[in-house]
Amino acid sequence: MPDALTTFKGIYSTTLLIWSIILIQGLIFLKQTKLSSEVHPALAFFCLWGAIGWLTMIEGGQGSLVGLAPVNRELYKDSHKIAYKCSKICHKGDALDRYLLGRQFMVVMVVFTVNMSGAPIDGAEIWGFPDAVKTIFLGTGLVMIMLTCNVGQLNSQVNASHHMLDYLNNYFGLFTLWVANLIEFSGLLHASYVLQFLVGAIAGEPIESNDEPRSGFASVFFWFRCLLSFTILGFCIAVTMVALFTDQTAMWEGVPAGVSVVIFLFLMCVVGMLEGMQIAFFAVAKVPASERGEGVFAKKTCALLYFGEGNNLPGFMIGRQLCVVSCMFFVARVTSVKIKEGGENIFGVSDGAQELFNTGLLGAVMLTILGSISWQLVASAFPLAFMKNPITYFLLRLCLGLEATGICQAAWVIAAIHKKIAGFQRDEVYIGTAEERRKQEMGDDAGQLRLGTGHLVKLPGFSDNAPKALQILIQKDPSVSQYINKIVDDIESAHGSVHSDE
């Protein structure tokens, strides 16, 4: 049974979420959002809820596909045929990395769509509310953050963490996987691969592929897409900077162009730090405390993050989600091009091209590559450097403070309702526990999860799923943690040796 505080948080968070949804629908049908005012409220309504619904599958699908990667898929071949098909596509060679790359862009693009559909325009009026109320709920972006985090992201992550097979076993999940792979294949984000190779070289760990060596044509096609991606990225930066310096974005009236640029760069760095921090925190989770860095802030960060039973780690992930989504909404506003009446199109492009600029797509490309993926790659190669950074400690405190407010407790309420309606069952019901799978000689293959330098997989920490008694023992005797870490390292080392022999 939940305690009184948790129950209170659930009630107030759910109430605030319902109020947020009511306000957003009011804005849409009063034509007080960008899409509803420029096109039609019906389009804004369907785009908003379509984007939120898709976001649930993007987030839940990622958790399912990453979590199922080590599991022998023959165990669920007959019981979950669509999940099996998804796994067969995604868990081969470097396919999981490619999916995660495309999926990263999907998240940013969906959040931008939600912003255009439901966020209030400048000077929005609704039901005669006083300015103070509008500032609290609309001006701060609170209503959009509540909807996106609770309904679109966190509730699906909660269910997908324990019901991976049931969550993924539908054609919507398969379609989302295909779209993510299509985005990656387009080459739009291939600049990330060049960054991946550079980070690996700097870290002294060249990136090795699990795919078959590329043929001559495939290699030319790959590097052509890398060049194309860098060209597109450069163009996105140029258009965005021109729009910012000429005051042609959806930024609030009265904000100087120079300030807009500073805000944009600042938010990009904040998103990047938060993306890198999650990789760094998980990367050092199984490193002995004595090896997590000697700096003052490295010690303070680790002491706070891994305190007690380690509950601050998932707490950080929730607070981080709030921060990232908040920054994305502001970046969407700062980078959405808005030509003033009678103004000339940027670089003299056609009206059709200018309409494309106005959607915020260019900002989404920039944020995905420069504000997300590149920081993840750096953090995977240099996690200890992230731990030493005083900004890391400050952002950790901020994220934990946001999580402590219970503002996202509604996600657990929604997850419980969704689970009940969908009839989700834990994965162990279908495929047994890891120990049972090992006894059947169909044990998990940890090598399917490629960790470390240059890989985008969210790195898991072993202690999160350890039995309670073992967690307590680890706290009392650090040598137990060191012993388990040694076993894990030996297994990984042995697995790597087998692959090198092959």
Verdict on whether the full-model pTM lies above 0.85? no
Within 10 angstroms of residue 162's Cβ, the number of other Cβ atoms is 17
**Which residues are CB-neighbours of 322 under 8 A, at least 6 positions away?**
145, 149, 399, 402, 403, 407, 408
DSSP string, 342-376: TPPPGGG--HHHHHHHHTTHHHHHHHHIIIIIHHH
Give CA torsion, residues 244, 246, 250, 254, to 10 deg.
Answer: 100
Task: Check whether 482 has a pLDDT greater than 80.
Answer: no
Ranges of each domain in the chain: 4-465, 466-502
- Phi then psi for residue 426, to 5 deg, are -60, 150
What's the CA gap between 490 and 496, in Å, rounded? 10
pLDDT bin (cut points 50, 70, 90) of residue 180 is: very high
Span 317-335, average pLDDT = 80
List all residues 6 or more positions away from 314 whose beta carbon is below 8 Å from its beta carbon.
Answer: 464
Token code pair at residue 375:
């920081």
The predicted pLDDT at position 57 comes to 92
Asked if residue 421 has pLDDT above 50, the reply is: yes
Contacts of 274 (CB under 8 A, 6+ apart): 320, 323, 324, 327, 395, 399
pLDDT in tens, 142-160: 888 889 888 888 888 888 8
pLDDT > 90: percent of the chain: 17
On the CB side of 284, CA atoms within 13 Å amount to: 28
pLDDT at 112: 83
User: Is the per-residue pLDDT at 260 higher than 90?
Assistant: no
- Nearest CA to 460 out of 332, 310, 346 is that of 310
Give the residue, 119 or 47, on which the prediction is more confident: 47
Summarize the confidence of residues 221-239 as an average pLDDT.
92
- Residue 501 burial (CB < 10 Å; 0-12/13-18/19+)? exposed
Mean pLDDT of all residues belonging to the chain: 79
Rounded alpha-carbon distances, angstroms, from residue 326 to 125, 147, 157, 319: 22, 11, 18, 11
Output the pLDDT for position 369.
86
Provide mean pLDDT across the span 291-307: 73
Q: Using an 8 Å Cβ cutoff, are 38 and 111 in contact?
A: no
Considering only the C-alpha atoms of the chain, give the largest distance between any 2 of them, rounded to a whole number of Å: 73
What letter does residue 120 receive in the DSSP assignment?
B
